[in-house]
Amino acid sequence: MASAAEQLASNLNFSAFAKAEDLKKRIWFTIGALLVYRLGTYIPLPGINPDAFAQAFSSQSKGVLGMFNMFAGGAVQRMAIFALGIMPYISASIIMQLMTSVIPSLEALKKEGEQGRKVINQYTRYGTVLLALVQAYGISVGLENGNGIVSDPGMFFRISTVVTLVGGTMFLMWLGEQITARGIGNGISLIIFSGIVAGLPHAISGTLELGRTGALSTGLILAIIVLAIVVIALIVFFERAQRRLLIQYPKRQVGNRMFQGDTSHLPLKLNTSGVIPPIFASSLLLLPATVAGFSQTTNMPAWASTVLASLGHGQPLYMAFYAAMIVFFAFFYTAIVFNPKDTADQLKKHSGFIPGYRPGERTADYIDYVLTRITVVGAIYLVLVCLLPEFLISATGVPFYLGGTSLLIVVSVTLDTVAQIQGHLIAHQYEGLIKKSKLRGGKKAR
């Protein structure tokens, strides 16, 4: 089956794509949904003085707000209706996944299959609304504290801002779910991906402008380009890397015939968690500082100003927290999406076994042993990819879009989306072969 799939994949061409009507509809739906998202990042909040806000944002753009603006697709810089972005939904997902690991009732729901998953998704939506309400109200207060940003401060402004921002986040959550169900790829990841890609031309032109004015040397710009190429190649290599465990199936007898036992492989990805750890880590680091960047530091306690300064982008404390959270979420998310015990039970159920290990508990322990060690390598890879460019950014002032996290998201989402497109094309060609064989069989019967 694997060789047939590879042969079909190698034969994919534009004619096959032209005949895949369902795939084309999915792609057009995805493009249309992302265009709607991009349009929303240009619709400003009512009651905001654009010039005053631009000055306030420029003073904080190299801090945490700059990264938040990257994930929001530039909506924070324009204080648009999608300024909160999809981050409240991601934060709610983190909380729910943590709770499913520690609360028995939620863990039981998770094991109920599709119905349990729907209930957990509904809880996640409620959590998204709650987090968005808190963040939106904090932003409204922070905007009022800014110097001349709000033309008519008061309760009406706060209510309208909260309603608009929460509504924007809920719309993006719904849009992401629609892309996942009716389009191509993971909707939430594609929304973040489109925001980053939309800012790449501006980031590149800004870097070249720094070179033109002499702020960056030509050698340093070339080093940045080479580093970006190396990081992209590293991401592709590690995202494709697998550790394959040999699986054997015993001989079986059907009637009077003895069939030779089959062999297959259990693929374990080196980075099972994908782009989730950097996104989760970034969202948690952005959460406490969303509002503080707009507030006047003179109104803050001394300890709060010290903590915020230490958590600034490129600061040692920020880097340490970022690395620790990436490692934690790499192991945490891997444990959620891959259960060695369930895998061992499935192998035992189908009479499969790993040579040298008894089916059941011993097999589960071995799979967990291998998975833990490759996850260590995957976590180190994520930390290196996300942090090494960050040191360069903090030292040179290169825009956030050229950082390791943004490159990781862009490359990983692109690889996943292309893989899904190829999967749809392969399925379409299989359907075509089945239809042809049925037609030939019908003609022969006649």
Question: DSSP per residue over 291-351, as a string?
Answer: TGGGS-GGGS-HHHHHHHHHTSTT-HHHHHHHHHHHHHHHHHHHHHH--HHHHHHHHHHTT
pLDDT of residue 129: 93
CA-nearest of 193, 125, 241, 222 to 408 is 193
Crossing angle of helices 316-337 and 302-310, rounded to 10°: 70
Alpha-carbon distance of 195 to 202, in angstroms, equals: 12
Q: What is the mean pLDDT of residues 291-301?
A: 52
Q: What is the mean pLDDT of residues 167-189?
A: 90
pLDDT of residue 17: 62
| Distance of alpha carbon 77 from the chain centroid | 22
pLDDT of residue 38: 92
* CB-CB contact of 263 with 246 (8 Å): yes
- Residue 272: phi, psi to the nearest 5? -65, -30
Helix, strand or coil, per DSSP, at residue 296: coil
pLDDT tens figures, 120-138: 888 999 999 998 998 888 8
**Is residue 307 predicted with pLDDT exceeding 90?**
no
DSSP-derived letter for residue 150 is B
Alpha-carbon distance of 281 to 165, in angstroms, equals: 22
**Is residue 262 predicted with pLDDT exceeding 50?**
yes
Give the tokens for residue 413. Answer: 């989402």
- Residue 243: phi, psi to the nearest 5? -110, 110
CA contacts within 13 A on the Cβ side of 206: 12
Give the tokens for residue 369. Answer: 């042993």
**Is residue 39 predicted with pLDDT exceeding 70?**
yes
Q: Note the pTM of the prediction, 2 decimals.
A: 0.77
Q: What is the end-to-end Cα distance of the chain in Å, rounded?
A: 31
**Better-predicted residue by pLDDT, 313 or 161:** 161
Alpha-carbon distance of 293 to 145, in angstroms, equals: 11
pLDDT of residue 261: 62
Alpha-carbon distance of 206 to 194, in angstroms, equals: 19
- Mean residue pLDDT across the chain: 79
**Is residue 376 predicted with pLDDT exceeding 70?**
yes
Name 414's bridge partners: none
CA-nearest of 408, 437, 256, 224 to 326 is 408
Residue 168's pLDDT band (cuts 50, 70, 90): very high
DSSP-derived letter for residue 289 is T
**What is the Cα gyration radius of the chain?**
25
Lowest mean pLDDT among 56-65, 212-221, 340-349: 56-65
Q: Give the contacts of 158 (CB within 8 A, at least 6 positions apart).
A: 137, 140, 141, 144
CA-nearest of 31, 26, 16, 24 to 425 is 16
Give the tokens for residue 404. Answer: 């390791």
* CB-CB contact of 114 with 132 (8 Å): no
Q: Please report, for residues 229, 237, 359, the alpha-carbon distance to residue 366 in angstroms, rounded to integers and kept in the order given.
A: 37, 25, 10
**Is residue 161 predicted with pLDDT exceeding 70?**
yes
**Is residue 293 predicted with pLDDT exceeding 60?**
no
**Is residue 285 predicted with pLDDT exceeding 80?**
no
Range from 37-41, 106-110, 241-245, 255-259 that averages highest in pLDDT: 37-41
Name 247's bridge partners: 264
Q: What is the mean pLDDT of residues 256-275?
A: 77
**Is residue 322 predicted with pLDDT exceeding 80?**
yes
Beta strand 257-259 with 242-248 is unpaired
pLDDT of residue 419: 84
pLDDT tens figures, 66-108: 667 777 778 888 888 898 888 888 888 878 877 887 788 877 8
Residue 8's pLDDT band (cuts 50, 70, 90): very low
Q: What is the mean pLDDT of residues 210-219?
A: 78
Q: Annotate 174-222 with DSSP letters as a single string.
A: HHHHHHHHHSSS-HHHHHHHHHHHHHHHHHHHHHHHHHHHTSS-HHHHH
